[in-house]
Amino acid sequence: MNIEGRNILITGANRGIGAAFVEEAKRRGAAKIYAGARDIDSITADDVERVRLDVTDAAQIAAAADIAGDVHVLVNNAGISTGSPLVTGDEASIRREMETNFFGPLRMIRAFAPVLARNGGGAIVNVVSALSWFATPMTGAYAASKAAAWALTDSTRLELAPQATHVVAVHMGLVDTDMSDGVPGPKIAPIALAGAALDAVESGAQEVLADDWAAFVKSGLNLGPAQRYEQIFAALGG
């Protein structure tokens, strides 16, 4: 499905990866771009329809589905990272990550699946992470939420196949955004990530390994845990 002439809704569209999706959708000739964010005044892009959208708020999601009833592509990008470990971290923060990174996309998909069906099937892009496949001591909550988002993507792909909705998982390492500011290591540009994701929509690919780190981590999933983590931590320099 070409992005040109289609309508697209992007969550977390005010900055970082979400703002890059807005620019890439424009470049590809999207007919209408719905830019969702909790604070619509923080959305600075021109030629978009701003939508007040907190993905943890069921009422705002329902309102968004009414407003954007002509959508062909849904991009579930909004997410948070609190840096919480699972054993000693604040439980409220852990729950907040799961609410945003797993239940948020789930609620969006449940609300927009009928919309996409009415409009011919369309596509859903879930911005997941290479951290869906491994964890570090200080990324326990984030990794757990992203692992759940990976399973969510696979499950909804199967459930929505009868209505011809194409579901894409996007995995990557560090992205050059505010969230990774101060974290050392190679970083993919947000616009490159958005481009790879929309390439998958247009080509029919179901999974995007957006950078070398995602490909590296995915390649080790056949290993046992000890060997897999030895390989990952060696690559991280730990």
Q: What is the pLDDT of residues 179-223, one digit of tens each?
A: 666 666 779 999 999 999 999 999 999 999 999 999 999 999 999
Q: Quick one: pLDDT band at residue 13, thresholds 50, 70, 90? A: very high
Amino acid at 79: G
Amino acid letter for position 185 = G
Q: Which position among 32, 34, 142, 187 bears the catalytic label?
A: 142
Q: 14: pLDDT confidence band, cut at 50, 70 and 90?
A: very high
126 phi/psi in degrees, rounded to 5 = -105, 120
Give the pLDDT of residue 177.
Answer: 78
For residue 127, give the amino acid letter: V
Express each pLDDT in 155-169 by its tens digit: 999 999 999 999 999
Tokens of 73: 């592509």
Going by pLDDT thresholds of 50, 70 and 90, the confidence category of residue 15 is very high
**First CA to last CA across the chain, in angstroms?**
43
State the residue for tokens 């499950």. 155
What SS3 state is found at 56?
coil
142 is catalytic: yes
Residue 123 to residue 113: CA distance in whole angstroms: 10
| Domain spans, the chain | 7-236
The one catalytic residue in 34, 146, 218, 229 is 146
How would residue 237 be classed by pLDDT, with cut points 50, 70 and 90? confident
126, β-bridge pairs = 76, 169
User: Is 146 annotated in the active site?
Assistant: yes
Q: Tell me, what's the pLDDT at 186?
A: 77
At the fourth CATH level, the homologous superfamily of domain 7-236 is NAD(P)-binding Rossmann-like Domain (3.40.50.720)
